[in-house]
Amino acid sequence: MMSKKFVVSSSPHLRSPDSIRSIMIDVLIALFPVVLMSVLLFGYRALITIILSALAAMATEALALRRGNFFGDGSAAVTGLLLALTLPVAPPWWLVIIGAVSAIVVGKLVYGGTGCNIFNPALVGRAILVISWGSHMAGDVWLCPEPYAFTADLVTSATPLATGQAPLLDLFLGTVPGALGETSALAILIGAFWLFYKGHICWRIPGSFIGVVFLLGLTQGGITAGLWHVLAGGVMLGAFFMATDMVTSPYTPAGKVIYGAGCGLITMVIRLFGNYPEGVTFAILLMNALTPLIDNYTVPKKFGEVKRNHA
């Protein structure tokens, strides 16, 4: 029976079949319903924006790393896609390209590339665009969707967050003005379900993020207001796809809850007291900055460890 030799090898002994590439492809699959919904709602120009942003991000990374493989590990494609989903339907083409290039360069490559970045690259790109070209990124630039009509004749208006008007069902389905990927909670939930199923995200960050937004929303007028704050704006997209970025969020269980709750708190503070109508971008970026600190303070107790007596 013991004819086989023992295999002696150094740690790590537990290996996962996951690679960066396979996880990124799963994220791309998860984003598919969101992309599909935005094209259905906003028409072909949404698709142009999304493709332009993803191609610009991939081209930037391939060029900067002098890499022949255009797709690479897929993280640039995810970054470009996520950036596009936070943009208005038809921004000027240069805005999309500058956003994608700065997301990859300033958001990721200057820190040393995939896995080394402090901030979520897509949100860095978005923040740069919001600060630099506010008139293209806020106010009456959001198209009112005309579901399933592939037309260019859409009316622009402010998002429900600015106007305060929108029925909850419309917010859930996504038939309200807003950024490409943020309006449809339904599509986001379908995509997020795939990520849960594959085990790439857990409930802690989105749960605490959305929970805190809901609780603080309650103070603005009961359950309807709570649900409204969760469904309107970018909370759903941010909570499931941005805040859960593996590189820039804490990896301890308790840390994830603190991080998500912090995101929710800052989002609501910016929404209720700030100058910007929406605060998800800056909330997640600020909590990204705190991630190393949170990880440091929430190291889990090792099994069998005894609390040290400070005598």
Partner 1 sequence: MSNFGQHLTRGILHDNPVFRLVLGMCPTLAITVLAVNALGMGLSVIVVLVCSNVVISLLREVIPSKVRIPAYIIIIATFVTLVDMLLNAFSPDLHRALGIFIPLIVVNCIILGRAEAFARKHPVLPSLADGLAIGVGYTLTLLVLATIREVFGSGTFFGLSLFGESFQPMLLLASPPGAFITLGLLMAAFNYLYKKLEVSQKKRRSKQSAGDVTVPAVGTDVPKGG
Does 289 help bind partner 1 (rule: CB under 8 A)? Answer: no
- Applying CB under 8 A, which part among 50-58, 130-138, 208-216, 303-311 lies near partner 1? 130-138
Q: Which is nearer to partner 1, 23 or 137 (CB)?
A: 137
What whole-number distance in Å separates Cα of residue 153 and Cα of residue 44?
12
Q: Which is nearer to partner 1, 109 or 280 (CB)?
A: 109
Q: Which is nearer to partner 1, 56 or 258 (CB)?
A: 56
Q: How far is CA 155 from the centre of its chain?
A: 27
Most distant CA pair in the chain, distance = 76
The three-class DSSP label of residue 81 is helix
CB of 159 to partner 1, least distance (A): 21
Q: How far is CA 264 from the centre of its chain?
A: 14
Figure out which of the listed residues 47, 59, 65, 98 binds partner 1, where binding follows CB under 8 A: 98
Residue with tokens 């999309």: 96
E strand intervals along the chain? 142-143, 156-157
Q: How far is CA 19 from the centre of its chain?
A: 20
DSSP secondary structure code for residue 302 in this structure:
P
Q: Which is nearer to partner 1, 124 or 294 (CB)?
A: 124
Figure out which of the listed residues 18, 29, 93, 134 binds partner 1, where binding follows CB under 8 A: 134
**Could you count the other beta carbons within 10 Å of the beta carbon of residue 110?**
11
Contact between 125 and 107 under an 8 Å Cβ cutoff? The reply is yes
For the segment 100-119, give every residue that binds partner 1 (CB under 8 A): 106, 110
- Applying CB under 8 A, which part among 131-139, 184-192, 196-204, 236-244 lies near partner 1? 131-139
Q: Which is nearer to partner 1, 92 or 167 (CB)?
A: 92
Contact between 77 and 23 under an 8 Å Cβ cutoff? The reply is no
Figure out which of the listed residues 71, 133, 194, 196 binds partner 1, where binding follows CB under 8 A: 133
CB of 80 to partner 1, least distance (A): 20
Contacting positions for partner 1 (CB under 8 A): 98, 106, 110, 128, 131-134
